Structures are given as structure tokens and as C-alpha cells.
Structure 1
Amino acid sequence: MKFGLQLGYWGAQPPVNVGELLTVAEEVGFDAVFAAESWGSDAFTPLAWWGSRTERVRLGTSVAQLSARTPTAAAMAALTLDHLSGGRAILGLGVSGPQVVEGWYGQPFAQPLKRTREYVDIVRKVLAREAPVTNEGPHYPLPYVSESGLGKPLKSIVHPLRADLPIWLGAEGPRNVAQTAEIADGWLAIYYAPRLADTYNAWLDEGFARPTARRTRETFEIAASAQVVITDNPAAEIERMRWISALYIGGMGAPELNFHAQVYRRMGYGAEVDEISRLFQAGRKAEAAAVVPDELITDTAIFGDEAHVRKRLREWEDAGVTMMLISVSDVDQLRRIAPLVER
């Protein structure tokens, strides 16, 4: 199992110590660095800027949101980054949710699975550069049919460095995970709980078994995002995560369609999710955080001394995870975590 560094997306201001983190991550053997986007900083620019000071780590988006750019624009960004980095780009894509897609990007959210399949197919056509890119739609028709009728199928001016540039997908539900195993090269898993590995593997196996599957389990990557902190005070980390968990369960999505909340329902926390959501949406955020049980947090995060962290990392690896994608704020944690997985 490998380590990836998750830079995430920015808060009110850019983070201040990313350059140092990247230098140390590459030095201690991290395999990849990822950047995310929501409705502020984008995912590609930080990788191009900060990634220019690296030589070995792969540079991935986790995730670039489908509705933020057309499929051809995403392919352009990915192939450009791939050339600049010498073939180290990973294009991680995800659908986000209706509040962001329709409220921020002004695009329809309907049929996310079909849109994802069509989007990925177009990106692969651009990267293959075998013919001018066409697509019948219905979501991304190329060329676009207008009254002028002047749209023309085109091939990328730039020859992509790799036709097989890896595409990973962020997915949470069973149908989405199965489709990811079918059409993608990797799964960006959020809130991955090793005790549900049999469930996840059943979803993945459904996708691998399809006639059009690109990969087998042996060549497919599973990158699980998780909070991993070596500490003598795990209770303090759990308390910190209570607030973050309450935000994602109660506030990161519409009350009637919150994919993060659905993940925790599948883990068996339905009653807790209902209460957290009710309190958070009523503006009672502190009370919502207080309702979050310790077990909900420790199912998907690792806090403890080095022996405990090593043991829990092995559980993730035994469950099939090929990369732990972790957020780390200081170089001391990077140096302490790196030796805990034998490579």
C-alpha cells in the first residue's frame, strides 16, 4: 500500500506551507499528491504551481468536478499537466452534488451516472487522438448542433503524452462504484470503512465482471481518503473530527440528497444521521457535533500511537486499499507516518 498526500481545496486563503510539505512527501516516499476543488480554488492550478518543485510524485485531481468544465476542457487540462510533469498526471473526476452543480456551475445535475460515462468516454477520445472527437450526446453533443451549423469535429492540436493517462473516479454509492470499476482506472473512496470491505468488493466485482471493463482488480487502484494522525491524545482528534463530520453529514448537500449522509447510513448510522442532520439544519451546529458518536469517526479515520496506526493501516491494506490518501498539516507527521507501511 502506498501513501498519497491530499492537499484538498483552499479555505478563505491559500495554505502557507504546501511547498515544504511536498518536498518532504517526495523525500519520504509518498507516491502521489492530490488537489481538490469545491466552489473556490480549482484543482489543476495548485498541482501545476506546487508540483513544479517535485520530480517523482504523481499529481492528481481529487476531484475535478464534471460540471466545472466540459469533457474536452478537462482533457486539455489533464494532457497539459501530464506534459509539464513528464507523465505524472492522474485525472480524478467526480459529479459533486446538486447544490453545487446547479447553484454554482449553473448546470443540470440529473443522470449523474450517465453523464459520467459519457464524460469519461469523450476524455478518452481526446487522449487517444485517433480521429476528430464526436459524440452523439445527449449530455455533451460534439459538435454542438446550433442554427449556424458551423460546429466542426476537431482533434487536439497537442499530441497527448499518454493515451492511457489514468482516470480515477470519486464514487460513493453502489451503482457509481460499480461503474467506476467498469470504466475507470481507479476509485477515489471517501469515508472508506474497512469493516464494509465485503460490501465494497461486491460493488467493484460487479463492475469488473462487465464485458466492457477496462481493468481487473489486480490493475485497479483504490485510494481511500482518511484522517491519519499519530498522537498520544486520540480523544482530542476525535473531538476535532466531530465538527467536521457534523458539517459533511448535516450541511454538505441538500437535506433530501446528501451523498455523504447516505454513506454513513450504509454503515449503520441511520438514526444518528437523522439527528445530526435535524440539528445542523436548525442551526444548532454544536449540538449536532455532540451527537456524532466516536465509532462513526474511528470507522473511517486512524488516531493513536505508532503501533495503533500501523495496525489500522494494515486493516485498510487487507481490505484492498492500494493507497491511503491522507491530509497532513505538518512535516513531522509526514516523517512519522511514512515508515508505517512496508514497501
Structure 2
Amino acid sequence: MTDRDVHLPVAAQPTIDSIADYARTAEDVGYDCAWLPETWGRDGVTVLSAMAERTETIDIGSSILNTYSRSPALLGQTAATLQELSDGRFRLGLGPSGPVVIENWHGVEFGNPLKRTRETVEIVREVLSGETVNYDGDDFELSGFRLRCDPPETTPPIEVTGMGPKAVELAGRFSDGWHGIMLTPEGMADRIEDIERGADLGDRDPDDVQVSAGVTCCALDDPEEARAITRQHIGFYIGGMGTFYRDALERQGYDEAPEIYDAWQEGDRERALELVDQNILDDLCAAGDPETVREQIERYEAVDGVDTIAVSFPRGADEEQIRQTMKAVAPEN
């Protein structure tokens, strides 16, 4: 049986209290982990701290903290601290993000994201071990320091994102988990093959890598409203968030992905959203009335190798729509 996690809303929320309340709701209805994104709003660490203090049993995780805006050593310190604060419920989600955010918001050269992520994970592991860190990599060289506090009794898992075959293969080689997003069930199956190949190259058991399928969900009494909100979300990610999502869809056989991207970049949002047709929505998301959404999620649960369904929400969904969806697809249902 697959686990059921929830990715808290990526769009700006009114207050930290409102975000922590989402986490409490997720705990009450049986979700296994509440993941918090960090984009260009509130910093993730502060909000994760509030979530840790205001929940009791649900795991909390960062999905994602990027590997450019904090040093690997600081990420290790952060993971150790949040593991202590949460009484062992923290999961560290890392990823490179993309050049649009890293270069235009953080002002840092994007560089080689695969190498950056691999070296970051390796250093974080050394930091969390409590031993002196001596690391000689291409991007980072560290020597002579160790955690000044006790390392966590239970090391938090380090999970990564990645969309392309090579990124996912590397996740299979060195991570404790991989988060797949913007993938059809068939696309997830292809990427799981990459996980298995990477695990084999790393002389690991692929079952040691927790595979999470992120599914954008919107379950409302008005199915047309749910699909409209979700269509806008997909259009924005394909057209407005760099080329990663466009390329991921094109790899999965959606020849219209470059057209969606071009129309969005040219400012023709109406045309871009027209190109996000019903087939794309049905293949990539779970949007409609609650029963339909639950049935669509089952397609991902049926993929061999998927351990967790991670429910996320369209960026335009309001608080009531988020709560309605969260409860409609909760594990207890």
C-alpha cells in the first residue's frame, strides 16, 4: 500500500499560522508527511520550525531547499536542528531548482546542477554523521570542522528532485528518496527504470530509494472549476518556469509542449491555455469532482515502484479549495 503525503501550497499564503494549520489538518486526516516548498516568499526553515512545533505525529519535509542559496554545511546544520525540533520527524528534500530562480532571484550562477546536488548530498551526510568533515570536490572543499552539537540519533533521510533521466539515475545512486513531478503514470514508470539503473550503478537496492509521485490535485463539487484552475497551473509551469517542465512533457510525447511554452513567453496566455487540452489534464493531473480525482490518483498507485503519492494543489487554488481537496483525497478516504 502506498503512503499518502501532501505538498503544502506553493502559492503565497496569508500567514505562517495558515500554513501551520494546513499541516495540522493534514495530520488530523492521516497524511504521512507534510512537505513545504520554498520559492521566493517566506523562507522554508522558519516555517518548517513552526510546523514542527505545532504538530505531533506527521513527518515534515522540505520540498525543496535548493542547493545554491545555502551552503551544504548549513543545510546539514539545518537538517540536524529540524530533526531535533521535530523529535525525529524531519525529511530533507533538496534539489537544484532552475536557472530562472537561482540566477534571477539568488544571483548565483546555475552551473552544473547534477554535480552540485550530488556534492551537496555527500557533504550533508558527512555533517549529519557528527564526524569531522573533510571533503574535496569540484564545487566544494571543506576541512577541519564538525557539528558543535550532538548529531541526530536518527539521521533524517535526504531526498532529491530531478526530472531528466540522468538526474533521476543519480538519485538512485546516492539519495534516500526521489520526488517525481509533472509526470504521467507512464512517465513515472520510465523514471523508475532510471532509479533502478542508478541503484545498480551504486551497488544499492532500489527498494532503499523512496519513490514519490507528485500529483497536482483539485477535487471540487464543480468539476469544471477544478479543471480550469488546474489548467492555469499547468500552463504556468510549462510556459513560465524555465524549460525543465516543457522538456519533461516533450520527453513524454507531448509535441504541443514547445507551443505552450512559446505562446506563454510571447504573452499569449489564452493560446497557451487552449493548448493545455483535456488529454494533458487527464494524463498529468487529478482534477474534477472528488470521486473522479480519487480514481485518477489510483493510476499512479498502480505503477510498480511508486511508494508514495504526494498530493499537491494548483497555484491558483484558494484556501477553501485546498482544504476541500486535501480532505477529499486524504488517506482515510
The TM-score with structure 1 as length reference comes to: 0.88
Q: Hey, what's the Cα distance between the residues in 1 that align with 2:193 and 2:114? A: 18
Contact 2:179/2:212, CA 8 A, preserved across alignment: yes
Which of 251, 266, 270 is residue 286 of structure 1 equivalent to?
270
Q: How does 1:218-233 map to 2 (within 5 A)?
A: 218-233=207-222
The 8 Å contact of residues 128 and 163 in structure 1, kept in 2 or not, is answered as no
Q: Which runs of 5+ in 1 are unaligned?
A: 144-152
Within the candidate set 210, 224, 228, 1:239 is matched to: 228
Mapping 1:1-343, distance limit 5 Å: 1-11=2-12, 13-14=14-15, 17-130=18-131, 132-143=132-143, 153-162=144-153, 164-213=155-204, 216-253=205-242, 258-270=243-255, 272-319=256-303, 320-327=305-312, 329-330=319-320, 331-339=323-331
Relative distance call for 1:123 and 1:250 in structure 2 (3 A) is: same
| Deviations, residues 125-149 of structure 1 (Å, cap 9, x unaligned) | 001122x212212201114xxxxxx
Number of residue pairs the alignment of both structures matches: 324
AA at the equivalent of 1:155: R
C-alpha deviation, 1:107, in angstroms: 2.2
Q: Distance in 1 between matches of 2:231 and 2:257?
A: 13
Structure 2, gaps ≥5 residues long? 314-318
Q: What displacement does 1:83 show?
A: 0.2
Give 1 or 2 for the bigger CA radius of gyration: 1
TM-score if structure 2 supplies the norm length? 0.90
Alpha-carbon separation, structure 2, partners of 1:296 and 1:245: 9
Aligned-residue sequence identity (percent) comes to 31
In the other structure, the counterpart of 1:150 is none
- Counterpart CA distance in 2 for 1:307 and 1:52 is 34
Tell me by how many angstroms 1:340 deviates: 6.0
| Aligned residues: CA RMSD | 2.0
Between 1:324-333 and 1:195-204, the stretch displaced more is: 324-333
Q: Alpha-carbon deviations, 1:16-43, whole Å to 9, x = none? A: 6334322221122110111111222222
SS in structure 2 opposite 1:229? Answer: strand
Contact map agreement 1:238 1:297 (CA 8 A) in 2 = yes
Q: Cα gap change, 1:198/1:12 in structure 2, threshold over 3 Å: closer, same or farther?
A: closer
Partner of 1:67: helix, strand, or coil? coil
Task: Report the counterpart of residue 148 of structure 1 in structure 2.
Answer: none
Q: CA deviation at 1:339?
A: 4.3
Moved more, 277-286 or 298-307: 298-307
SS across alignment from 2:49: helix
Q: Distance in 2 between matches of 1:230 and 1:10?
A: 18
Distance 1:321 1:28, change over 3 A: same
Q: Is the 8 A contact 1:133 1:142 kept in 2?
A: yes
Distance between the aligned counterparts of 1:291 and 1:20, measured in 2?
36
Amino acid at match of 1:57: I
Counterparts of 1:15 and 1:45, CA distance in 2: 9
**Hey, what's the Cα distance between the residues in 1 that align with 2:121 and 2:20?**
31
What are the Cα deviations for residues 282-331 of structure 1, in whole angstroms up to 9, with x where unaligned?
11122211221121122121124444333332221121322222235444
CA shift, 1:7, in A, is 1.5
Question: Residue 12 of structure 1: CA displacement?
Answer: 7.5
Contact 1:43 1:64 in 2 (8 A): yes
